[in-house]
Amino acid sequence: MLSDEDLHHLRRAVELGRRGLGDVSPNPPVGAVLVRNGNVVGEGWHRGAGLAHAEVEALAAAGDAARGATAYVSLEPCNHVGRTGPCTAALAEAGVARVVFGASDPNAEAAGGASALRAMGIEAVDAGLAEARRLIEAFEIALDADRPYLALKMAASVNGAIAARGGERRWLTGEAARALVRGLRIEHDAVMVGAGTVRVDDPQLTVRPPHARRVPYRRVVICERDPIPAASRVLDRADGVETVIVAPRTRAALFRELEGRASIVYAPDRDGQLDLRAALRELKTMGIRSALCEGGPTLAARLLAHGLVDRIHWLVAPAMIAGSAAVPSVAGVEEVDLSGWRFDEVRRVGDDVYLSGRIR
């Protein structure tokens, strides 16, 4: 059974694991804490593919103090030899007496850690901690899907409008909400918008202030039919961030002008309208395992309508935007079925409110 102390240390392991977000793709983020006689003797987290696993980092920090300790790991210790040795063996060698992990390993290739530990006489407890599962949500989905894990971020007034058309350009949400969005961008391999948003808002889609990621952060523009203007700021390479444009194959001629300015990926279309599922497949092929879609309303709605969104991050601003100039947050589709959607996170972020939930 798990004590409050167990939960405390396991949560700390999850917190440490979060530090690897943005750096560890295509690996899962993992954190580990070693505790002996109630004292934390080692901590670690996975810092990037090819680097030490979290358990190994924590063991190195603990040294001899690991003997007889309990290891708290956000994810079931791996049991395979990848770019590094199996963590189960490392834990056993160091004399760890007990392992408590937050989530079982969804990766068939690496799984079996708990059984391996038990076979070596080490107690292994699967805590089934929601936060630990949440930490590897993107990893787990990208593992099996033929597309990246896709999160949709929207910031809207209580009545669901994202801006006033033709209105003065201003932020709807406050500074704290924008900091949260910056954090979301860092966590995902790419940030994605539709061509309409580029035409209307001309965003840079960079992370400001900049944040170094071991896995380069990419900007993706989904052009469902037509190219974006060559002068768009998202095509500016000054900050060294790559831009990927996904375009309908039968309309390739229209996109020639943008070649050399960005990586153009041509995906199948139907009568000149991009096949979104195929477009996402292309992105995964390029190594993009998670993407944050930040709109606009049409791309968001179409991704939702096609069932291609895994999580929604919704920011509600204490505002109301009325009238014919109000831009709706989702538009252009006749139906979006989110039945079964639940908010699993609700909190105030400055003056705004952040709602988030996994879809299906």
* Closest distance of CB 358 from its own copies, Å: 11
Cross-strand partners of 317: 157
Q: Does 316 bind its own copies (CB under 8 A)?
A: yes
Q: Are 102 and 13 in contact (CB under 8 A)?
A: yes
Q: Does 328 bind its own copies (CB under 8 A)?
A: yes
Q: Which residues contact 218 (CB under 8 A, 6 or more apart)?
A: 189, 190, 191, 241, 242, 243, 244, 288
Binding map of its own copies across residues 134-163, x = CB under 8 A, - = no contact: --------------------x-xxxxxx--
Q: Does 166 bind its own copies (CB under 8 A)?
A: no
**Closer to its own copies by Cβ: residue 85 or 328:** 328
Instruction: Please pick, from the candidates 7, 143, 176, 305, the single residue that binds its own copies as defined by CB under 8 A.
Output: 305
Instruction: Please state, in angstroms and rounded to a whole number, the distance separating the CA atoms of residues 189 and 215.
Output: 7
Q: Which residues contact 45 (CB under 8 A, 6 or more apart)?
A: 16, 17, 19, 20, 29, 30, 31, 32, 54, 57
Token digits of residue 352: 């705004």
Cross-strand partners of 17: none
Q: Does 333 bind its own copies (CB under 8 A)?
A: yes
Sole window of 89-97, 135-143, 260-268, 334-342 interacting with its own copies (rule: CB under 8 A): 334-342
Q: Does 348 bind its own copies (CB under 8 A)?
A: yes
Cross-strand partners of 303: none
Instruction: Please state, in angstroms and rounded to a whole number, the distance separating the CA atoms of residues 194 and 101.
Output: 40
What is the residue type of 283? L
* Closest distance of CB 329 from its own copies, Å: 5
Instruction: Please state, in angstroms and rounded to a whole number, the distance separating the CA atoms of residues 360 and 354.
Output: 19
Radius of gyration in angstroms for the set of CA atoms belonging to the chain, rounded to a whole number: 22
**Closer to its own copies by Cβ: residue 119 or 158:** 158
Instruction: Please pick, from the candidates 119, 230, 252, 322, the single residue that binds its own copies as defined by CB under 8 A.
Output: 322
Give me the catalytic one of 55, 57, 76, 140. 55
Token digits of residue 23: 């750096």
Start-to-end Cα distance in the chain: 30
Span 4-33, contacts to its own copies by CB under 8 A: none
**Closer to its own copies by Cβ: residue 257 or 345:** 345
Cα–Cα nearest to 287, from 147, 152, 150, 184? 147
Q: Does 318 bind its own copies (CB under 8 A)?
A: yes
Q: Does 307 bind its own copies (CB under 8 A)?
A: no
Q: Does 343 bind its own copies (CB under 8 A)?
A: yes
Sole window of 22-30, 32-40, 268-276, 297-305 interacting with its own copies (rule: CB under 8 A): 297-305
* Closest distance of CB 323 from its own copies, Å: 4
Strands 39-45 and 31-36: antiparallel
Q: How many residues interact with its own copies (rule CB under 8 A)?
A: 40
**Closer to its own copies by Cβ: residue 80 or 134:** 134
Instruction: Please state, in angstroms and rounded to a whole number, the distance separating the CA atoms of residues 134 and 106.
Output: 12
Q: Does 301 bind its own copies (CB under 8 A)?
A: yes
* Closest distance of CB 136 from its own copies, Å: 23
Count of all residues that appear for the chain in the document: 360
Active site residue 55: yes
Token digits of residue 187: 């966590």
| 130 membership: H or E segment, kind and range | helix 130-135
Strands 161-164 and 269-270: unpaired
* Closest distance of CB 150 from its own copies, Å: 15
Q: Does 184 bind its own copies (CB under 8 A)?
A: no
Q: Does 197 bind its own copies (CB under 8 A)?
A: no
The footprint of its own copies (CB under 8 A) covers 154, 156-161, 301, 304-305, 312, 314, 316, 318-325, 328-331, 333-336, 338, 341-343, 346-348, 351, 353, 355, 357
Residues noted as catalytic:
55
